[in-house]
Structures are given as C-alpha cells and as structure tokens.
Amino acid sequence: MKLSQETLTILKNYAAINKGVVLHPGNKLYTRKESLIADATISEEFEKEVGIFDLRQLLDIIGLYKDPVLDFGDDCLRIAETDGTVETKYVYAAPGIVSGGTIPKKKLMEIPEDVIDFTLTEEQWNKLQKAITILSLTEIKITSDGKTVRIGTANHKNEQGNSTSIVLEADPHGLQCKMIYNRDDMQLLKGSYKGTVTPLFTIFKNQEYDLTYFVGVEPTTSTFGNN
C-alpha cells in the first residue's frame, strides 16, 4: 500500500491531537479526545485494526523514504523503498492502550434541528490563530446576536480585556449564542471550513479534504438560543 499525500496530511494533523492512532478496517480515520472528534474519509482501505502508539514517530520514519510502500503484516508494519534497498519494521501497539483510538458513537455526532451555519475562510482562520497567540489567550468564541455571527479570541474570566473578533459569512437563523472553546480543542487542519453551531458542539467541515471536526463547547460558560 502507498499512502496518498492527502492521507499523510490528515495523519500529521491527527498527530498534533493525540500521540497515537488506531487504524480501523475500511477507509475512515478517527481520532478523539475529551472535547474533540475528528472524522476523515480517505482513498485507501485498511484491512485490519492496527494500533500505532507514536504516530509522529511513524510519520517521521515514512518521511525518510523517497517512495515508501507499506505492508501491514500480522504483528508489524513493514515500510520499504519500491526497489527494496531500505526497509523498516514498525511494531504495532495494542489498540486498547492507544489514546483516542475508539470509534465515536454516532449519537455523539447527531445534529439537532436548531443550528447556526457559517463559513470560515483560511485567511480568517490564520488571522485568528495569530491574534490569539499575540494576545496570549487560551479560548476562542463564536457569538451571534441573531443577525451577525463573529468568531474571535476569548477570556471568560475577563471579558473586558484585549480581544479580536472577525465577522463571518453566516446564516444564524435568528438564533443567538455565545459559545466558548478551549484553544487546544481547535486543532484544525489548514484550510477553509463550513461550520455549524449546535448547543453542545460545533462542526467544522474542511473544504479541501473529506475531514470533519466536532468540537465541544465549554458548558459552564457557553449559551445557545434566545431564552
């Protein structure tokens, strides 16, 4: 098997979310932590469940090869050049000890009827990430007054402090919200996104890759709806 550049790009993003990954049979890639689920569909088909304990390490090994071919054996992965001159044996980990390796339950990703839809461009996302770094903040917020939707930096402990906000192209459907997210849960791959705000999580769908993130809100500091 050869991994496409698109799949390698998604796996590099997953390595920033969790140390390891479990490859499940089929063409879906998942990773998850407490307030984040990432769900991707890829061009390759995996035949068996495989645990990778240190995904970044594996990707670094694959990066040493000019044209790597991967052979998923019973107890290890073999990586080799197409001409057979170089080979690496990479031993699997038990899937149960790999962080974020379980397949998310579909119920966790069900979309309710009342939502706020928006578009987040790559330029806007890049600008927001720079602003949150410059301002040394740890939270991101999406707000709606029922007409205008904004994404910006946040600090729920000091709402009068320094902040940056960006107006989004959006359809709030008349709904108001103030949704707070931990910056560490917003580890989105570079690109533009179609987004959907729900009362419990926000969906970010990448417009280049078949990749969707479900990001949970901070429940004690977030509000949704007009009540």
pTM of the model: 0.93
Residue 61 CA neighbour count, 13 Å, CB half: 18
Stretch (H or E) spanning 212: strand 211-216
Residue 192 burial (C-beta neighbours within 10 Å; 0-12, 13-18, 19+): middle
Please name the residue that has the structure tokens 């707070």.
Answer: 180
What letters, b where the CB count within 10 A reaches 16 and e where it falls short, cover 179-188?
Answer: bbbbeebbbb
Locate CATH 3.70.10.10 in the chain: 5-106, 111-224
Strands 201-206 and 36-46: unpaired
Per-residue pLDDT, 112: 86
Q: Specify the fold of 111-224.
A: Proliferating Cell Nuclear Antigen (3.70.10)
Residue type, 14: Y
Give the pLDDT score at 108.
Answer: 62
3-class DSSP assignment, residue 138:
coil
User: What are phi and psi for residue 200, nearest 5 degrees?
Assistant: -110, -25
Fold of 5-106: Proliferating Cell Nuclear Antigen (3.70.10)
Tell me what pLDDT residue 110 has: 78
Q: What is the pLDDT along the chain (227 residues), one digit of tens a residue?
A: 999 999 999 999 999 999 999 999 999 999 998 899 999 999 999 999 999 999 999 999 999 999 999 999 999 999 999 988 999 999 999 988 898 777 766 656 778 889 999 999 999 999 999 999 999 999 999 999 999 999 999 998 888 889 999 999 999 999 999 999 999 999 999 999 999 999 999 999 999 999 999 999 999 999 998 76
Crossing angle between the packed helical segments 55-62 and 5-17, to the nearest 10 degrees? 150
pLDDT of 159 reads 83
